[in-house]
Structure 1
Amino acid sequence: MTTSFGGANTAIPKDPKLLRVPTSFNGLQSASNSLLLSKRLHVYHSFSASTAGPNSIIRAVSTPVKPDTSVQPKRSKVEIFKEHSNFIRYPLNEELLTEASNINEAATQLIKFHGSYQQYNRDERGAKSYSFMLRTKNPCGKVSNKLYLVMDDLADQFGIGTLRLTTRQTFQLHGVLKKDLKTVMSSIIRSMGSTLGACGDLNRNVLAPAAPFARKDYLFAQKTAEDIAALLTPQSGFYYDMWVDGEKILSAEPPEVVKARNDNSHGTNFPDSAEPIYGTQFLPRKFKVAVTVPTDNSVDIFTNDIGVVVVSDSDGKPQGYNIYVGGGMGRTHRLESTFPRLAEPLGYVPKEDILYAVKAIVVTQRENGRRDDRKYSRMKYLISSWGIEKFRTVVEQYYGKKFEPCRELPEWEFKSYLGWHEQGDGGLFCGLHVDSGRVKGTMKTTLREIIEKYNLNVRITPNQNIILCDIRQAWKRPITTALAQGGLLQPRYVDPLNLTAMACPAFPLCPLAITEAERGIPNILKRVRAVFEKVGLKYNESVVIRVTGCPNGCARPYMAELGLVGDGPNSYQIWLGGNPNQTSLAKLFKDKVKLHDLENVLEPLFYNWKRKRLSKESFGDFTIRTGTEKLQEMVDKWEGIPLGASRYNLKLFADKETYEAMDALARLQDKSAHQLAMEVIRNYVASQQSGK
């Protein structure tokens, strides 16, 4: 059966329930404070499943609200908070005016839409000391010179003195007190920044490769990410009402974005609503989008609800996009019905259709994602339940066209963009590694001085690093010197394990943390390096390690070669099997591994990888090929490294005085004496070899 959508004939599912025009969950009901007048949309089908002809049309008719006498479906508490909020205003607007240091339960949920989480210091005992974390929204990770300097100032004046770079290319500012929220928020907004939608049940920050290449495909991908971010930005004004007294400080939107948002040709919008795409209920849960170009998987493309890949012709001119759907990392311990999932191909669209296709996917999730149990509300569960064919068919109703098959693409690579690179326009950019994304101390001061002195714009990467952009050739030497003096080393001087490692903040401020992540990963990486050296792995060999303090997966541990997921005090699940290109999903290997027992698991795994791997086989690929059963056997039967097997180790210290001096120097660099000594030896050997 087909239906006419503006002249396009499209197959429709046989189940009429799949053809309903969008309504917010439980309808557009009036808010409890009587501030909202709303309408309910009704679908009038001019067909039946057995008799409808080819000219059947689906029409949305807006009618007055009538008393609803039907049994109401079960809804989560958050859905009720949203419905009664007057588009994310009430009771947050009242709670912010109270003398208390915290806000109530409903306001705590609503402030997420404004880009903030309420937290308290879990290291402290007694009365809770509440503060707020603010997260910015920076499509493509772009941060202007002005905004960077303002964020740096705010961290010192109102935060805990640090900035954090996130895995979604944004800043997090921790420790802001309730009484300072409006000052901080308004400062960000007036500096052309935003926190709107950085958290909450709506589209989050849109990722794109951070590299400022002057190439058609990269520029096109970044422009697409910015357009998608604009398309899915809330329109009801609640953010500006709350923080800048209703003043909208915005640049003009591209006309194609406005046109796509307002288009209701296929029943995607709520007519006459302050939120034409989101309605009063917004989405069932958070929604993540990433855009990239072929080969560049710096954005972990398959972990997103929607992954968009630019497809270009032989001359490098963008023609359209492959779209992938259904990725997501979050899960719940010991609940197998929750799981991480990779996105899968949906189809190809020409470049002029991308905003309409994205909108159709979002609306499909808005209308069909679960709103009764938030554990299952992400789009990945809808697609897992329906299957990709049914999902594609429903999306096509809102899109108004059939998707073409995805175009074939080359192999993916992870690209960090660390070090110095040509932009392609005469300028340079410099990618800097930041451990766990935490900008603090001397590093923070140095970055501030360089960015301010040279008037540089910056970009945040999805791997928690930072890129200094638009550097003139003449500035390279003085900037390199200043960076080194501030402890920001070129990648060749950073341990390879650290370069790809990631961790979430976890303790002390995250309310969901079960154990350490950011504070624990430096020691974990040192211990992994020590195991590498013990089993004879070379210094330049590495594995992708990601650590999270809970199963929600903010640092994407389920894509790591070695993922550590907090499951108790000083205890982790171990996940194995991701690969360096971030295209395969790890599998759970062991539960409840105590931190002090980590070597007992890792030593046999790394030892066997060293000796049984295929040519150039990564650790993750080795674990998948070997299989869980044999890996478990390796661990269970491990009796230590056979005598003579570790022939590359050196006895580095002959006397106590030398060791103590090296240990003192190593502590300044957050390293062990053994690590620092090995680095000195390697650098000396390399310099001698290069001088021959």
Structure 2
Amino acid sequence: MALVAGASKTVVAETESKIYMSKYRGLRSSGMITLMGAARALPVSSPCSSSVGIVRAVSTPDTVAVKRSKVELFKEQSNFLRFPLNEELQNEAPGINEVATQLIKFHGSYQQTNRDERGTKSYQFMLRTKNPCGKVPNKLYLVMDDLADEFGIGTLRLTTRQTFQLHGILKKNLKTVMSTIIKNMGSTLGACGDLNRNVLAPAAPYTMKEYAFAQETADNIASLLTPQSGAYYDIWVDGEKVVSVEPPEVVAARNDNSHGTNFQDSPEPIYGTQFLPRKFKIAVTVPTDNSVDILTNDVGIVVISDSDGEPQGFNIYVGGGMGRTHRVETTFPRLGEPLGYVPKEDILYVVKAIVVTQRENGRRDDRKYSRMKYLISEWGIEKFRSVVEQYYGRKFEPFRVLPDWEFKSYLGWHEQGDGALFYGLHVDNGRIGGAMKKALREVIEKYNLSVRITPNQNLILCDVRHSWRRRITTVLAQAGLLQPKYVDPLNITAMACPALPLCPLAITEAERGIPDILKRVRAVLDKVGVRYNESVVIRVTGCPNGCARPYMAELGLVGDGPNSYQIWLGGTPNQTSLAKCFMNKVKIQDLEKVLEPLFYNWKRKRLQGESFGQFTTKIGFDRLQEMVDKWDGVVKVPPKHNLKIFADRQTYEAMDELAQLQSKTAHQLAMDVIRNYVASHQNGKEE
């Protein structure tokens, strides 16, 4: 990837855009254009090679214009995301106005204030990168590490969609930071806003065909749905344009208009002036591997291979999404459902057809209902499939049978399949800072490693030689990045959103609160006698928008007031079941009053191998509520021996220093190590 000076000039883009917008408004006023896009005939010819029967498509009907949200007007009048963002960035004010605040999201940034501070608002910006499959080249990692120290708050954050977030960027430094990312193999374009977000795929750098094909597909979809107008490069690198060689199949799919998917002669052939009604999320994976929370995405794509492991096509899920609004029952989390199967050469055309169906029909009057899940819930899957088939140009084949899903963390050491190793590191809450950040920098720089970010906010070091393993393990462990067998299982699967103090939507704590919550949950599990390795999937968010996907957790805590949470129960360890709201307005100090009876009864009344989420679903909320209401706090389990672990002060002090890096006591860390050591030998595992 390289930069070419002057490849995209603002004045040219603005002229083309104004001409296009003038035509667009003229068509709208004459009744030749719908709210969502131009009326267009859909021919019967197909760009795809599959032998499945061709669909006779009809023209998109004209509709009467309806009310649109103000964000829709901002987008339409923005000159394809330029105005007034460019002007706002050039003035001396510390922040930007309301319109620019909405537009900068498409460029990968949110304007924020520190809500811990009182008085005059101190504006700052969060930047989010776009890294399909979580891939981060060595050069980009080192640059992000530098930018966090020089312009941010000194930490990097790994997100639940396999990207970086930088916090605390001042407006005056935005362009420097953005241009540095762009010129070092990175991008923030489309990381936020009403368009396709980062495309997920399993982060493990396996060389086997299925995994490589899933990651290649994710890369191609990300490229297909990247904005094309050049506004991003006009604003952040003065009109220089990134020159990257796109696969010919991506270019062909984007340009194809055989079925009326495109805005003709528009700088944005897929998005037009309006882009999408809301954010749009896509994940690609292989059978069994649910590291990507496949059912929570607008579109979930599963590679289907033959008996020799050669990819043949894809199963498609549609309609997943987590966001909701408190006390508005017509908003809800939803799981994706099967749409059908397509041959592998058709996948880009199918994705484009789904996106266009949402573009043309998703609601634009009320953003609470603008995600594709609400369109599918209103229409039903049969009608949705029929409309997508019009833009695709053929019928879907029947959904292929899949094996059960499994959650895979990819922590620890693994063979890549090419003679090298990869090392999955657990990062609490995805926050990299302090000694951990310095140690990672040392290892990644010294060994010239690329990395990958997982959807569970962890980090994978790729292409590690066997001879480097011991030294890397030692350096990272000294900084608190322990091997997963020494990390509490609760922490391994837990997730939290950033929430306070920077997120404007947060009602209460999440990232800052979850370390203490996990310690308290561990104490309750110990108290009622649940074994250490019998974990529970816990996710915490500071508001109902669901950024950490709490509605898939076995125990989800969703902020609903100051120091107050809804408790959601019923998800499963493999993230295939939707949790339900069990209790409202539970104060954080009262958490044990709810969890003790629930965990106690799970321990005593479960079936063999029954997870906590499965148990709560089986028992039902009425009986669970009765258990909580009648709980007397008496736990009838044999008392545990309180063994003295440390024999000398030197060992204790060394352990205490290491424990502080993980927000634990020396005793807790020592017990974690001992428990995992015993468990690994009981199971016949090697050290």
Q: TM-score, normalised by structure 1?
A: 0.89
Are 2:185 and 1:187 equivalent residues in the alignment?
no
8 Å contact 2:161–2:200 — kept in the other structure?
yes
Aligned to 1:50: none
Aligned pairs (5 A) from 1:280-429: 280-429=273-422
| More RCO (CA 8 Å, sep 6+) | 2
C-alpha separation in 2, matches of 1:357 and 1:46: 15
C-alpha separation in 2, matches of 1:671 and 1:514: 27
Aligned to 1:37: 22
Equivalent residue of 2:302, what SS? Answer: strand
8 Å contact 1:43–1:58 — kept in the other structure?
no
Are 2:464 and 1:471 equivalent residues in the alignment?
yes
Aligned pairs (5 A) from 1:458-537: 458-537=451-530
Are 2:190 and 1:205 equivalent residues in the alignment?
no
8 Å contact 1:155–1:161 — kept in the other structure?
yes
Identity of aligned residues (%): 77
Superposed displacement of residue 672, structure 1: 3.9
Equivalent residue of 1:409, what SS? Answer: coil
The one of 81, 93, 96 equivalent to 2:86 is: 93
Are 2:564 and 1:571 equivalent residues in the alignment?
yes
8 Å contact 1:295–1:411 — kept in the other structure?
yes
8 Å contact 2:342–2:396 — kept in the other structure?
yes
Question: Structure 1 residues 364 and 478 mapped into 2: Cα distance closer, same or farther (>3 Å)?
Answer: same
Question: Structure 1 residues 44 and 558 mapped into 2: Cα distance closer, same or farther (>3 Å)?
Answer: closer
Equivalent residue of 2:559, what SS? Answer: strand
Q: In structure 1, what residue type is equivalent to 2:389?
A: E
Aligned residues: 646
Question: Structure 1 residues 46 and 423 mapped into 2: Cα distance closer, same or farther (>3 Å)?
Answer: closer
Gapped regions of structure 1 (runs ≥ 5): 1-29, 48-53, 62-67
8 Å contact 2:55–2:390 — kept in the other structure?
no
The one of 419, 425, 436 equivalent to 1:443 is: 436
C-alpha separation in 1, matches of 2:678 and 2:56: 78
Q: In structure 1, what residue type is equivalent to 2:251?
A: V
Q: In structure 1, what residue type is equivalent to 2:117?
A: E
8 Å contact 1:652–1:677 — kept in the other structure?
no
Are 2:575 and 1:599 equivalent residues in the alignment?
no
Are 2:625 and 1:640 equivalent residues in the alignment?
no
Question: Structure 1 residues 162 and 241 mapped into 2: Cα distance closer, same or farther (>3 Å)?
Answer: same
C-alpha separation in 1, matches of 2:16 and 2:564: 45
Aligned to 1:609: 602
Equivalent residue of 2:290, what SS? Answer: coil
C-alpha separation in 1, matches of 2:141 and 2:369: 37
Aligned to 1:151: 144
C-alpha separation in 2, matches of 1:383 and 1:100: 43
Superposed displacement of residue 661, structure 1: 6.8
8 Å contact 2:41–2:60 — kept in the other structure?
no
Q: In structure 2, what residue type is equivalent to 1:585?
A: L
C-alpha separation in 1, matches of 2:195 and 2:71: 13
Can you list the C-alpha shifts for 1:41-93, whole angstroms capped at 9, x where unaligned?
5647799xxxxxx99874689xxxxxx9x974111010010011000100001
Question: Structure 1 residues 684 and 388 mapped into 2: Cα distance closer, same or farther (>3 Å)?
Answer: closer
8 Å contact 1:461–1:467 — kept in the other structure?
yes
Superposed displacement of residue 649, structure 1: 2.1
Can you list the C-alpha shifts for 1:111-149, whole angstroms capped at 9, x where unaligned?
000000000000001101110000000000000000000
Question: Structure 1 residues 392 and 688 mapped into 2: Cα distance closer, same or farther (>3 Å)?
Answer: closer
Superposed displacement of residue 150, structure 1: 0.3
Equivalent residue of 2:303, what SS? Answer: strand
Equivalent residue of 1:508, what SS? Answer: coil
Superposed displacement of residue 539, structure 1: 1.1
Q: In structure 1, what residue type is equivalent to 2:347?
A: I
Are 2:641 and 1:650 equivalent residues in the alignment?
yes
Equivalent residue of 1:430, what SS? Answer: strand
C-alpha separation in 1, matches of 2:19 and 2:507: 41
Aligned to 2:448: 455
Q: In structure 2, what residue type is equivalent to 1:580?
A: P
Q: In structure 1, what residue type is equivalent to 2:77?
A: H
Equivalent residue of 2:22, what SS? Answer: coil
Superposed displacement of residue 482, structure 1: 1.1
Can you list the C-alpha shifts for 1:525-566, whole angstroms capped at 9, x where unaligned?
000000011000111110000000000000000000000000
8 Å contact 2:56–2:393 — kept in the other structure?
no
The one of 98, 101, 113 equivalent to 1:105 is: 98
The one of 603, 621, 631 equivalent to 1:628 is: 621
Q: In structure 2, what residue type is equivalent to 1:112?
A: K
Q: In structure 2, what residue type is equivalent to 1:137?
A: K
CA RMSD, aligned part only? Answer: 2.6
Are 2:178 and 1:177 equivalent residues in the alignment?
no
Q: In structure 2, what residue type is equivalent to 1:461?
A: T
Are 2:288 and 1:277 equivalent residues in the alignment?
no
Question: Structure 1 residues 473 and 337 mapped into 2: Cα distance closer, same or farther (>3 Å)?
Answer: same
Superposed displacement of residue 188, structure 1: 0.3
Aligned to 1:116: 109
C-alpha separation in 1, matches of 2:127 and 2:673: 41
Superposed displacement of residue 345, structure 1: 0.2
8 Å contact 1:204–1:287 — kept in the other structure?
yes
Superposed displacement of residue 684, structure 1: 7.5
Equivalent residue of 1:468, what SS? Answer: strand
Q: In structure 2, what residue type is equivalent to 1:211?
A: A
C-alpha separation in 2, matches of 1:190 and 1:476: 32
8 Å contact 2:125–2:167 — kept in the other structure?
yes
Equivalent residue of 1:159, what SS? Answer: coil
The one of 151, 160, 164 equivalent to 2:153 is: 160
Question: Structure 1 residues 332 and 31 mapped into 2: Cα distance closer, same or farther (>3 Å)?
Answer: farther
Superposed displacement of residue 227, structure 1: 0.3
Superposed displacement of residue 671, structure 1: 1.4
Q: In structure 2, what residue type is equivalent to 1:524?
A: I
8 Å contact 1:652–1:674 — kept in the other structure?
no
